[in-house]
Amino acid sequence: MSDGLFPSGSADDREPLTLSAAESYLATTAFDTGRPGFVGAEVEWLLARRDDPVAHVPGELSQAVLAGVDGGLTKGTLRHGRISLEAGGAIKVTSPPSPGIDSCLGRMSVDLDEVRRAVHQYGLRPVGSALEPWRRVRRTVDNPRYAAMETFFDRRGPAGRWMMCATSSVQVCVDAGLPYSGWLGCRRRWVLAHAIGPVLVAAFANSPVRHGRPTGWKSTRQAIWQQLDSGRVRPVSAGEPGEAWARYALAADVMCIRSTAGPWFVPRGLSFRDWITTASPRRPTWSDLRYHLTTLFPPVRPRGYLELRMIDGQAGDDWAVAVAVTAGLFGDDRAAEQAFEATERLRATGPDASPGNCWQRAARDGLGDPELAAAALDCFVSAYAALARLNVSRDVRDRVATFIERYVSQRRCPADDVLDGVRV
């Protein structure tokens, strides 16, 4: 959603940032209780040349696509949402928060059609995978944030550059809930988001090939995320959501310290908690804290609403299925309860992204994993029924039904189609 990281009126940078104030701010602002029923989405497209899909796409060409959208808008605005470039030149389209599934999908479709026309105008096309399948990793967008991210992740190996420059996702945003119990309540929605996360990884896995060869993972994109700095990409631990998020955010290492002159400083092993307590290399501000939150990438990220970040980028219009299924499970009490029950056995494997758990199994095996396949079928059928109860359009429900018939009921995911083509 493009309405800001947290609600307006938060802490003033002129006030000192203390540890207790930061803890309170994080615990109370990450889960906004406004706008129930609102849905948002982000759709990323890797780009390739239509005449030569293996050829490098220069950064100037990606920039030209942005300039060509709607006659050359320069502020990243579309008819409804916003457009931006990722580090490797991928296009990201972000919807506004919308009152319901149909509204969100309709607005995003209009914006994506506009972007698709600009992409085609410059001889490009979206890549139908969540991972660059042929080309080498190359950062084409030069700005201080991406340069600092590259430095930070390079200290841990090559996975960071792959994540930044060669992956794409569909992100679904739902409201954080209301301050009471039940499936509309904040606590249970937070738990539900983590419960269905591995199911969404497995069902929409769409990145099995790198350098033209199968990687052994249905979602190599998710496998790459699991290789990054665990303090900023692992799931947030269980417990009271606000307190758990505050602990997570303050324990994570500072990725960069911004500067108006020269490259941004990339410290080593400095948690934000330590930065507050030591006030070195300078005293952090409230703005620094808010910026730090934009560098944290757990699979479920609280931003006033809940942002589900675990879904692979999809070919064609299947991004709409991912949004509809996810929002349907959150928008209907009966479906939420059924999804929670369907994922019970998966939750028993543990909440963290450690070897052998359901997050890793989902990325490696997709719906080839029997437990994930059974849970996915239950979740998708529940979501389909919820869409009818929510009066979502027949067209959207038909898309979901087609996805269930083609993939979920067959214990397949989009990655299996890609692998079928590679093996031929």
For residue range 238-284, what is the model confidence (pLDDT) as tens digits? 888 999 999 999 999 999 999 988 899 999 999 999 999 999 999 99
| Tokens read off for 51 | 């005449």
**Contact predicate 192/183, CB 8 Å:** yes
Predicted local distance difference test score (pLDDT) of residue 397: 98
Looking at the predicted structure, is the pLDDT value of residue 31 above 90?
no
Predicted local distance difference test score (pLDDT) of residue 157: 94
**Contact predicate 19/275, CB 8 Å:** no
| Tokens read off for 311 | 């879904």
Largest CA distance in the chain: 63
Looking at the predicted structure, is the pLDDT value of residue 75 above 90?
no
Looking at the predicted structure, is the pLDDT value of residue 9 above 90?
no
Predicted local distance difference test score (pLDDT) of residue 261: 86
Least trusted range by pLDDT, from 200-204, 256-260, 375-379: 256-260
- Write the CA distances from 416 to 83, 132, 218, 365, 379, integer angstroms: 30, 16, 8, 10, 20
Per-residue pLDDT tens over the stretch 288-327: 999 999 999 999 999 999 999 999 999 999 999 999 999 9
**Total number of residues shown for the chain:** 424
Rounded to the nearest integer, the mean pLDDT of the chain is: 91
Q: What residues does each domain of the chain span? A: 19-423
What does the alpha-carbon distance between residue 203 and residue 51 come to, in Å, rounded to a whole number? Answer: 31
CATH of 19-423, one of 3.30.420.40, 3.40.30.10, 2.130.10.10, 3.30.590.20: 3.30.590.20
Q: Between residues 278 and 1, which one has the greater pLDDT?
A: 278
Predicted local distance difference test score (pLDDT) of residue 66: 84
Does the reported pTM lie above 0.85? Answer: yes
